[in-house]
A and B are shown apart, each in its own frame.
Chain A
């Protein structure tokens, strides 16, 4: 499967990694609920590192869509809440099709 680290690029990782990523994703969500920014950052960092270590970066020319998208490592609590609450976090960019 293909995973995008926002602000960094896309990686191809083995499907078997999904369970681990979901686990870390749940930790990140808990951190947001607890209002714990440090835990949020360490969770996001763990997600990104897992992808970097186990994945292979896609070439710039690849036009494949991602199966999972991971927020930037320095996401603030406010941004994380915005992300969980509505769609305003991602700017509206026309895809053009």
Chain B
């Protein structure tokens, strides 16, 4: 079995020699080939736009996942402050699970960033090649005999086809990457919304509720403290009067 480099070269050659066998009328072939290149160039541009959109969506999701981590961290602190170490432990366990997925997404995001950069460069190269082909096809039409033109077309079309396949592959790989990231993001959603961690403890839903209660409870405490403080200044005369009455 040949190595990857040899295998890849064979695959490309097989693809393009098939295409070349079909070339019969050089002039028609040239024009058709160019139109086809323009169409493919549009496909590539669309593919890149799709990847960019998917990446932006994932960045938004990433922000909300980070908030989940912060929220679980806060819940753990509250639980500990309320001497509920069991709940704190549960919140931290969830935090760790979300964080692990998040780290994976981060890493894939960096790879995607690099791929996206290459995509943009590849598309620019493709555009230059298509433009060069447009010029070259007129030269071939004007200056070469049919037989010579055939050879020239063969080379030029293969050169373009290669670049097309190269960028096409890069688009496909970037798309696969966004899909993998999306799957991780969905896994986090499940972890944090549907109580998928219920298996970890016998009473996962209950723990969810208790964490929420704890959080609400501390909110109530906070508000109570705030109200007391307000009354402490606003309602000051009343206790003084009472004190006065007691004193007299």
Interface residues of A (CB under 8 A from B): 4, 6-9, 21-22, 25-26, 28-29, 32, 44, 47, 60-72, 74-75, 79-80, 83-84, 87, 89-97
Contact = CB atoms under 8 A, between A and B. Distances in A.
Interface stretch (B83-91, B157-165, B190-198): B157-165
B231 interface: no
Given A4-B162, A29-B1, A97-B23, A68 B15 contact: no
Given A65-B162, A66-B9, A72-B173, A94 B19 contact: yes
Interface of B: 1-9, 11-12, 14-16, 19-20, 22-23, 29, 32-37, 40, 111, 114-115, 118, 122, 124-125, 128-129, 131-133, 136, 153-162, 164-166, 168-170, 172-173
B5 A25 contact: yes
B157 A47 contact: no
20 contacts: A7-B115, A7-B170, A25-B4, A29-B2, A47-B5, A61-B129, A63-B156, A65-B155, A65-B162, A69-B5, A71-B4, A87-B14, A90-B8, A91-B169, A91-B172, A94-B40, A95-B33, A96-B33, A96-B40, A97-B32
B15 A90 contact: yes
Q: In the A-B complex, list the 8 residue pairs whose CB atoms are closest, starting with the nearest.
A: A96-B36, A25-B3, A95-B161, A60-B128, A63-B159, A95-B19, A65-B158, A29-B3
Contact of A95 (B35, B136, B160): B160
B33 A22 contact: no
Interface of B (DSSP majority class): helix
A93 B40 contact: yes
A67 B37 CA distance: 22
B4 A95 contact: no
- Tell me which of A67, A75, A93 has the highest count of chain B C-beta atoms within 10 A of its own C-beta: A93
A6 B169 contact: yes
Contacts of A8: 118
B132 A63 contact: yes
A77 to B, nearest CB: 11
Contacts of B3: 22, 25-26, 28-29
A83 B132 contact: no
A76 B154 CA distance: 33
Given A69-B12, A93-B165, A95-B36, 6 more contacts: A29-B4, A63-B155, A83-B11, A89-B11, A91-B169, A94-B19
Contacts of B162: 4, 65-66, 69
A89 B37 CA distance: 21
A8 B36 CA distance: 23
B19 A7 contact: no
Contacts of B19: 94-97
B157 A97 contact: yes
Given A7-B170, A60-B125, A65-B155, A93 B5 contact: no
Contact of B16 (A62, A70, A75, A95): A95
B230 to A, nearest CB: 60
Contact of A69 (B8, B40, B164): B8
A70 B8 contact: yes
